[in-house]
Structure 1
Amino acid sequence: MSDTDDQRKRHRQSIEIRQTLSSIPELTETLAWQYPDARLSSTISIGSGAWDQLYSDSKPRARQQYGDSPP
């Protein structure tokens, strides 16, 4: 596989992951409405390396790699 093919594949994967991530709030809301007694909430954790690939133009100031201790 050439570098260009690899870049295209990673780009497609990033789009699919971002679409999946963007659907989680609606899914959480739907399930919370259907099961109000469950008091459902959701949390998503994205590793530092994955964040760089998915959202290279926006990095949270306090972002750390897993296992790093706070400054």
Structure 2
Amino acid sequence: TITFYEPVRLGDVLTTHQVLRSVSGPKTTKLGAGRFWVIDVVYRNQDGELVGVETYTGFGYRRDAS
């Protein structure tokens, strides 16, 4: 999901950085054993103002040996 706090206008220069918000304990899925990661991508404009935060969840895993 993404939440905007300020309007982004044509010509704005945006910078981002990522924040690792959480990592789950070990989980096993059909993909293999791994962990869920929650990451925030923080967006700021050329004035350093916070304009938005995007949050996503990923699953890092190691495939089972076949």
TM-score (norm 2): 0.22
Structure showing the higher helix proportion among its residues: 1
Taking structure 1 as the reference length, the TM-score comes to 0.21
Bigger strand fraction = 2
Q: Whose RCO is larger (CA < 8 A, sep 6+)?
A: 2
